[in-house]
Amino acid sequence: MTDFSTEYFTMNETQAVEYAKEKLDYFHSDAELTCKEIGDGNLNYVFRIVDQKNKDSIILKQAGPVARISDEFKVSPDRNRIESDILKIQYDYVPEYTPKTYQYDPVMNCFAMEDLSEYEIMRSALIKHQTFPQFAEHITTFMAKTLLLTSDVAMNHKDKKALVKSFINPELCEITEDLVYTEPFYNCERNEVFPATRSFIETEIWGDKQLQLETAKLKFEFMTNAQSLIHGDLHTGSVFIKQDSTKVIDPEFAFYGPAGYDIGNVVANLIFAYANGQATITDAEEREQFTNYIITTIRDVIDLFKEKFKKLWQETDKEFVANYDGFQTYYLNSILQDTAAVVGLELTRRIIGLAKVADITSIEQEEARKTAEINCLTVAKQFILNRETFKTGDNFVFQVKKAFD
Ligand code: SR1
Ligand code: MG
């Protein structure tokens, strides 16, 4: 019998079944369990355990000692506690958009959660050019609530500081500081540049001193602005979706950071879907329909977020000085400015850096991929350099259409 109570080790499928029988208070006593490791992310092991007899199932997520994408990233398995804890907090605020978690195990660095097999990863669905008209509505409720209600605007400051302490996440923050804010903006050997795009990158990104300076300012903003308990990696690969429902998963990068980091990630990854649609859909009408859907969704993500954020602000019992005239406008504008900057940073790092997105890498024709990459980088620069000018959904989509059309 395997000992799961003394020393941490990474499990295989057989051991995950044993673990479920011994440790999880979930399945019937007569369960006939099978297991498949289904993780396709960059970091963790994800076991889907099914009781073939009673048709129950559960997900067991375990953090390994190094990232799956590369052994270079040594990441403490304690991130599993952070993920399990933030999922509980998010479930309290937005249960409709958060998977339910069951048991966290600090020895094996794993937790159990609701099986969402009837959902699909949003990035994969968007690459097939499926559309989800309710996504903007869902994700903006998720973001308005989690980002405002965990901030100093809405929380008791001592309680908030205790959360800041508990969600100190230095190793995963370091990954973001390096991969998002630093490496893409110089000729770092860890970058993975698509050869056809290299000369554009050398001139327009690595050769642009003003751009480098702005990214330095933004990196310090990311490292020092403990504004909200953010998801920290809210791209379309962190969203499980079906037509009438959205669930946000994988918040292991969570920490107290700038609220705009989450919104910017959502928007940037919608732009990757736009780039993919434009590059790969051959039928003009179909292409128009899909890209219009993405444009509408980007506009709605910004405008609905603003609307819901303002409404929640009115309804919330706030920090005294947050009630002063003009403070809400100042605060929301600074979130939108950070959002625009992060759109640009995320677009750049997924094109130049080590962690790519399938929306772009799955574009097979060299010329089409080069065009998609250059369009993403062109609009990225606008978002970073002119970040203070982005205040409405229309401001965001105007720049996207200008760069791509
Ligand atoms: C080493 S981890 C690389 C990337 O995968 C995660 O999903 C984050 O986006 C991270 O930057
Ligand atoms: Mg992830």
Cα–Cα distance for residue pair 277/363, rounded to 1 Å: 10
Read off the pLDDT band of 2 (50, 70, 90): very high
pLDDT value at position 71? 85
Distance of CA 321 to the CA centre of its chain: 31
pLDDT value at position 1? 86
pLDDT value at position 72? 87
With 90 as the cut, is the pLDDT of residue 264 above it? Answer: yes
- Are 127 and 247 within 8 A, CB to CB? no
Q: Report strand pairing: 120-121 vs 110-113.
A: unpaired
Structure tokens belonging to residue 318: 């706030």
Q: Which atom of ligand 1 is nearest to the CA of 349?
A: 11
Q: Residue 188 phi/psi, 5° resolution?
A: -85, 140
pLDDT value at position 313? 98
The average confidence (pLDDT) of the chain is: 97
How much of the chain, in percent, has pLDDT values that exceed 70?
Answer: 100
Amino acid in the structure at residue 272:
F
Q: Find, among 218, 250, 251, the residue nearest to 345 by Cα.
A: 218
Cα 73 to ligand 2 centre (Å): 14
pLDDT value at position 69? 83
One-letter-per-residue 3-state SS of the chain: CCCCCCCCCCCCHHHHHHHHHHHCCCCCCCCCEEEEECCCCCCEEEEEEEECCCCEEEEEEEECCECCCCCCCECCCCHHHHHHHHHHHHHHHCHHHCCCEEEEECCCCEEEECCCCCCEEHHHHHHCCCCCCCHHHHHHHHHHHHHHHCCCCCCCHHHHHHHHHHCCCHHHHHHHHHHCCCHHHCCCCCCCCCHHHHHHHHHHCCCCHHHHHHHHHHHHHHHHCCCEEECCCCCHHHEEEECCEEEECCCCCCEEECCHHHHHHHHHHHHHHHHHHHHHCCCHHHHHHHHHHHHHHHHHHHHHHHHHHHHHHHHCCCCHHHHCCCHHHHHHHHHHHHHHHHHHHHHHHHHHCCCCCHHHHCCCCHHHHHHHHHHHHHHHHHHHHCHHHCCCHHHHHHHHHHHHC
Looking at the CA of 265, name the nearest ligand: 1
Which tens digits make up the pLDDT trace of 110-162?
999 999 999 999 999 999 999 999 999 999 999 999 999 999 999 999 999 99
Residue with tokens 């919104």: 263
Residue 242's DSSP bridge partners are 245
Residue 31 CB coordination number (10 Å): 18
Which tens digits make up the pLDDT trace of 56-87?
999 999 999 888 888 889 898 989 999 999 99
pTM of this structure: 0.97
Residue 156 CB coordination number (10 Å): 11
Q: Find, among 228, 94, 224, 92, the residue nearest to 153 by Cα.
A: 228
Question: Looking at residues 19-41, what average pLDDT do you find?
Answer: 95
Question: CA of 367: how far to CAs of 198, 273, 354, in Å?
Answer: 13, 18, 21
With 90 as the cut, is the pLDDT of residue 40 above it? Answer: no
Looking at the CA of 177, name the nearest ligand: 1
Dihedral of alpha carbons 125, 127, 128, 131, sign = positive
Which tens digits make up the pLDDT trace of 219-241?
999 999 999 999 999 999 999 99
Which residues does ligand 1 sit against, CB inside 6 Å?
41-43, 67, 69, 73, 175-176, 179, 233, 355
Which tens digits make up the pLDDT trace of 86-110?
999 999 999 999 999 999 999 999 9
Which tens digits make up the pLDDT trace of 316-341?
999 999 999 999 999 999 999 999 99
Read off the pLDDT band of 42 (50, 70, 90): confident
Dihedral of alpha carbons 14, 18, 23, 29, sign = positive
Q: From atom 5 of ligand 1, which residue's Cα is the shortest distance away?
A: 42
Residue with tokens 């059309």: 405
Which tens digits make up the pLDDT trace of 267-312?
999 999 999 999 999 999 999 999 999 999 999 999 999 999 999 9
Structure tokens belonging to residue 336: 């939108």
Cα 40 to ligand 2 centre (Å): 9
pLDDT value at position 67? 87
Q: Which atom of ligand 1 is nearest to the CA of 180?
A: 11
